[in-house]
Structure 1
């Protein structure tokens, strides 16, 4: 793997290996026994993804190089490529990049000589979020084959939807899409279904944030929740063991009733916890494949005591 840009580049076997590696990191502390530097180049606001990468890197023992787009030379007109090349030149061993462009990786792919991890590309890809979602589903059901998964919300603008739909299909799940008028993306090729119909038979209900900043008109939030969101009435119709996912940030009272964010079905905060460990797995995989790490570079520390 040259760079980790999309889940589509992974086989089903590689996805399962990353899931198993992440689970091992949940059970046991591991650290890299050499000095390595990670640069997290986030050009869009981020709480969960950026913080999750920082925690993952520090758990592994990496040095994290500080970067804030609003106080960097990008404010003077520096390009993404020159920013990335700067961090490579001063000694970064890997880059984690989030950028508003759908195709920012095309600018970097052939000329950057250290591994790059995609932490979000416009509205096209969010592969690490996809993998933490897959880890969460796998921990719940122990399989993907035959599961019915609903992805509901702002499909048109969601990189999460794009990454998850195809990965779930590859692993054997049946994927259904639900979206309000104007939020559809018919290029995905998955069956569209109403929330009211899907809620009765789906094993996983994956809600997506309504991305108000990408819409010209502000939605009436109450109207959206009643017509297209997960209300308490709809939650009561879910299958007994069905779960709720959401990549967050959550618009409480818009795509989901606020009381359901932390209900028994919700795995929203578990997803966040899982994000640290799946990103640890991705980091060690790509550093190993580049030859930056070898089998003796990762040492087991004290065992984590499960609650």
Structure 2
């Protein structure tokens, strides 16, 4: 099997990882998390989101986080922007990339965005235009692409519709997200191969959650079809506030350990990420990732 020589790992812990925490995480901790992750060498850090605090209170301090992080030259700092108000916040915060997010599942779109898939795409159009006008990178997050908590199976044609719309809007990358972690490798291959016929494969990212313990296997399945961008979260933090039972993202430590074993370059310091995973897990009083815990235990022995 011929894998890419290098992959890009997008670290989503500060945003996707923390958004579901019930207790408010102090801004100081969020800033330090971003700084630790960028210092570890992640080329892209998803720092926060500019969404209504009513819907995601954890992200209410997004502007302050963006103002205080120590920006590492060459690192892309991304923020989620669901509408023009969010875009204006992202612009003021000097975000390097804005992320629009739409669901492939009609039921999830209604529950999460209170509108149909087609309506959600129309809402994002002005954000996409504004990003283009200001020369800001645009990324599209395509949630529930591999399964939905409300309708179950999601037709591939619905995934392709959103992928095509994101492409038309000018998205440089699109994230094919297994929001609730139900996918298995065969499904991942099938969906990724189909999407690659509609969107340049070098701009397709795999975003897997580990609810059923399949996330690392799904990363390998995506590698099999030529995907070279993956999203992960230090310590496997995460979940979805709108998807009951969804557990964390695939852990950055687990993905980095995998890539090292496959001789695939990432440019990210695994040991630094292990330290960060142990630190944030201690702060949140939870277990860290499997690879992170194993490496930390080996060091301590």
Asked if these proteins are the same fold (TM beyond 0.5), I'd say no
Q: TM-score, normalised by structure 1?
A: 0.35
